[in-house]
C-alpha cells in the first residue's frame, strides 16, 4: 500500500523549514524510525523519522527546498501491518507534536551504538558522516541526541565547538548510562526540544562568557502607587499592567546613558557593535521550556502599549504561536521571577547580547530615615545584572545598577 508522507507540525511556532539533507532515494528502503529528511529551521536542526518500513516510491523534495506543514514529501510502498489502519497520518503527526504522550520510555544503554568509533554502528546521516570525515572527527566520541541516538549536525557542531573551546583534541568520552533504579524508583521524563536547545545555548553562554553579577535594590514605593493607577486604567482597556513594562522602559533609559550594555562583540571579538535600537528580550516560562521573545523599540512605547504587547507575546509563547523572527534581534534581556519569588539570582547572559537583568520579588521593608530618625515601610525591589566582563568593567556595572535604581524611584519619568 502506498502511503503519502507529509511534513508534520514541527511545534515551537515553526511552520516552515529548509531541507538540509535527504538521506533516502527513490527505490531505496527505509525502516520504521529511519530518517527520511533533515530540516533546518531558525531554531534547530530536526530529523523527520519514518513511521513505516518499506520502499521509497517517490521523492518529492530535494536539498534546499523550503517546506511547510502539510507539504507532501515522499510516497512509500509500505509493508507495515499498522499501515492498514485508517488514521496513520494523524498518528504520525501526534507522535511528533506531543512526544510527552508517548508511552513511558525505558532507559536504553546507548553505548553499543557509539562505542564503535567511526564504524557502521554509529547512527548519522551521510552529510554528518561526510563532514566528520573531512574534519577527521571520530563520530564514536559523540553522543547523538537524534532519534535512536542518531548524531545530528547540531551534535557534531557542539562537539567541534567544545574542542575549540578546550583548545584540545582530547574531549571527554560520551557519558555512560547509569542505572539509577538500582537505588530506588525512578521515572524517565523526556526533555522537550526547547529544553534541549535552551540547554545547549545556556551551556555555551556559561562557558564562553566571563560573567559578573552585580546586585542592587530599588525603592519602588512611589512607582507602585503610579502602577496601581495605571493598572486600573489598563483594566478598563482589558490590559494587565504588571511591573515588568516599567522595568523595560527603565532599562532603555540606562542603556541610552551607557550604550556599551546595548552592544555585541563582533565575530572576531575585535569590535563592539553598539546598537541604536532598544529591543528587549523577555524570558517567558512556558510548559515546553524557556522562551525569550523580543519586544521591539521599547523606548518608543508607552507603559500601556508595552503591557498589551507583553500579554500578547507571553500568551503566544506559552501556546507555541510565536513567529521565528519574534525570537530574534533583542539587544538586552530581562528575566523576571518577581511574580514568583526569591530575593536574588544570577541570570545567564543571552548571547550575542552582553548583559541581562534578573528581577526578584519586591517586599515591604523597614527603611531607616536618618532625618526623622525612624524606620518607614518602603516597597523594595531586588534585582541583579549579569554582564560579559570582556565588554563591561565592574565600575560600569555598578553605575548601571545605581542608575536603574534611581530611575525606578522616580515615577515622573514614566508619565507620558
- CA dihedral (121, 122, 123, 127) positive or negative: negative
Q: Among 37, 67, 73, 282, indicate the residue that binds ligand CAO (CB under 6 A).
A: 282
C-beta of 231 vs 260, nearer to ligand CAO: 231
Q: Among 114, 335, 350, 384, indicate the residue that binds ligand CAO (CB under 6 A).
A: 335
The verdict on 284 binding ligand CAO (CB under 6 A) reads yes
C-beta of 29 vs 361, nearer to ligand CAO: 361
Q: Are 17 and 41 in contact (CB under 8 A)?
A: yes
Using CB under 6 A, which of the segments 22-30, 58-66, 205-213, 283-291 binds ligand CAO?
283-291
Using CB under 6 A, which of the segments 67-75, 132-140, 187-195, 332-340 binds ligand CAO?
332-340
C-beta of 110 vs 379, nearer to ligand CAO: 379
Q: Among 152, 263, 314, 350, indicate the residue that binds ligand CAO (CB under 6 A).
A: 314
Q: What string marks each residue from 173 to 192 as x (binds ligand CAO by CB under 6 A) or -?
A: --------------------
Q: What is the phi-psi region of residue 78: left when phi exceeds 0, alpha when psi lies from -120 to 50, beta otherwise?
A: beta
Pairing outcome for strands 280-282 and 294-295: antiparallel
Q: Among 58, 83, 222, 285, indicate the residue that binds ligand CAO (CB under 6 A).
A: 285
Is 211 in the active site? no
Give me the least distance between CB of 226 and ligand CAO, in Å please. 13
Which of 157, 159, 211, 389 is flagged as catalytic? 389
**Site size toward ligand CAO, by CB under 6 A:** 19
Give me the least distance between CB of 166 and ligand CAO, in Å please. 26
Q: Among 290, 304, 399, 413, indicate the residue that binds ligand CAO (CB under 6 A).
A: 290
Return the residue nearest ligand CAO (CB atom).
338
How far is it, in rounded angstroms, from Cα 357 to Cα 338?
12
The verdict on 204 binding ligand CAO (CB under 6 A) reads no
User: 236, 374, 255, 373: which is closest to 308 by C-alpha?
Assistant: 236
Place of cell 502602577: 227
- Give the CA count within 13 Å in the CB-facing half-sphere of 346: 9
User: What does DSSP assign to residue 124?
Assistant: B
Using CB under 6 A, which of the segments 33-41, 45-53, 207-215, 280-288 binds ligand CAO?
280-288
Residue 81: exposure state from Cβ atoms within 10 A (0-12, 13-18, ≥19): exposed
Cβ count near 342 (within 10 Å): 12
The residues in 336-365 that bind ligand CAO, with binding defined as CB under 6 A, are 336-339, 359, 361-362
The residues in 116-155 that bind ligand CAO, with binding defined as CB under 6 A, are none
Cβ count near 219 (within 10 Å): 18
C-beta of 331 vs 335, nearer to ligand CAO: 335
Give the H or E element holding residue 71.
Answer: none
Q: Are 310 and 294 in contact (CB under 8 A)?
A: no
Give me the least distance between CB of 299 and ligand CAO, in Å please. 18
Q: What string marks each residue from 375 to 414 as x (binds ligand CAO by CB under 6 A) or -?
A: ------x---------------------------------
The residues in 229-248 that bind ligand CAO, with binding defined as CB under 6 A, are 242-244
Give me the least distance between CB of 311 and ligand CAO, in Å please. 8
SS3 24: coil
Cis check: omega of the bond before 391, within 30 degrees of 0: no
Place of cell 512605547: 301
Pairing outcome for strands 289-291 and 2-6: unpaired
C-beta of 40 vs 224, nearer to ligand CAO: 224
The verdict on 214 binding ligand CAO (CB under 6 A) reads no
C-beta of 37 vs 381, nearer to ligand CAO: 381
Q: Among 39, 283, 356, 392, indicate the residue that binds ligand CAO (CB under 6 A).
A: 283
How far is it, in rounded angstroms, from Cα 17 to Cα 61?
12
User: 129, 136, 138, 34: which is closest to 80 by C-alpha?
Assistant: 34
Strand partners, 273: 264
SS3 405: helix
Place of cell 526623622: 372
Give me the least distance between CB of 243 and ligand CAO, in Å please. 5
Cell of 326: 519574534
Binding positions for ligand CAO, rule: CB under 6 A: 242-244, 282-285, 290, 310, 314, 335-339, 359, 361-362, 381
Active site residues: 389
Amino acid at each position: 500500500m502506498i502511503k503519502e508522507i507529509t511534513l508534520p507540525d514541527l511545534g515551537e511556532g515553526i511552520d516552515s523549514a529548509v531541507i538540509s539533507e535527504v538521506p533516502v532515494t527513490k527505490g531505496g528502503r527505509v525502516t520504521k524510525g529511519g530518517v527520511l529528511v533533515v530540516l533546518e529551521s531558525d531554531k534547530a536542526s530536526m530529523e523527520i523519522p519514518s513511521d513505516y518500513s518499506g520502499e521509497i516510491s517517490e521523492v518529492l523534495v530535494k536539498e534546499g527546498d523550503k517546506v511547510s506543514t502539510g507539504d507532501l514529501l515522499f510516497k512509500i510502498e509500505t509493508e507495515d501491518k499498522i499501515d492498514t489502519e485508517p488514521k496513520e497520518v494523524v498518528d504520525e503527526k501526534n507522535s511528533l507534536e506531543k512526544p510527552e504522550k508517548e508511552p513511558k520510555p525505558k532507559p536504553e544503554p546507548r553505548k553499543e551504538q557509539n562505542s564503535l568509533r567511526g564504524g557502521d554502528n554509529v547512527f548519522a546521516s551521510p552529510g554528518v558522516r561526510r563532514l566528520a570525515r573531512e574534519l577527521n572527527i571520530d563520530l564514536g566520541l559523540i553522543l547523538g541526541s537524534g532519534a535512536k541516538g542518531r548524531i545530528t549536525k547540531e551534535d557534531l557542531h557542539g562537539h567541534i565547538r567544545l574542542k575549540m573551546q578546550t583548545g584540545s583534541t582530547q574531549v571527554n568520552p560520551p557519558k555512560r548510562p547509569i542505572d539509577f533504579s538500582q537505588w530506588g524508583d525512578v521515572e524517565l521524563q523526556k526533555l522537550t526540544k526547547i529544553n534541549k536547545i535552551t540547554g545547549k545555548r545556556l551551556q555555551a553562554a556559561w562557558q564562553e562568557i566571563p560573567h559578573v553579577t552585580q546586585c542592587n535594590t530599588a525603592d519602588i514605593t512611589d512607582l507602585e502607587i503610579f502602577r496601581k493607577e495605571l493598572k486600573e486604567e489598563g483594566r478598563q482597556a482589558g490590559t494587565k499592567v504588571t511591573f515588568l513594562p516599567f522595568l523595560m522602559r527603565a532599562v532603555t533609559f540606562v542603556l541610552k546613558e551607557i550604550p556599551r550594555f546595548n552592544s555585541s562583540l563582533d565575530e572576531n571579538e575585535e569590535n563592539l557593535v553598539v546598537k541604536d535600537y532598544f529591543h528587549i528580550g523577555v524570558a517567558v516560562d512556558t510548559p515546553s521550556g524557556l522562551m525569550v521573545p523580543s519586544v521591539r523599540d521599547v523606548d518608543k512605547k508607552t507603559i500601556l502599549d508595552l503591557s498589551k504587547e507583553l500579554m500578547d507575546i507571553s500568551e503566544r509563547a506559552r501556546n507555541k504561536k510565536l513567529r521565528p523572527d519574534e525570537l530574534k534581534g533583542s539587544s538586552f534581556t530581562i528575566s523576571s521571577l518577581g511574580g514568583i519569588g526569591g530575593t536574588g539570582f544570577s541570570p545567564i547572559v543571552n548571547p550575542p547580547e552582553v548583559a541581562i537583568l534578573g528581577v526578584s520579588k519586591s517586599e515591604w521593608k523597614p527603611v531607616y530615615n536618618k532625618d526623622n530618625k525612624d524606620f518607614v515601610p518602603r516597597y523594595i525591589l531586588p534585582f541583579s545584572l549579569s554582564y560579559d566582563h570582556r565588554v563591561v568593567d565592574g565600575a560600569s556595572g555598578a553605575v548601571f545598577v545605581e542608575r536603574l535604581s534611581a530611575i525606578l524611584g522616580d515615577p515622573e519619568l514614566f508619565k507620558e
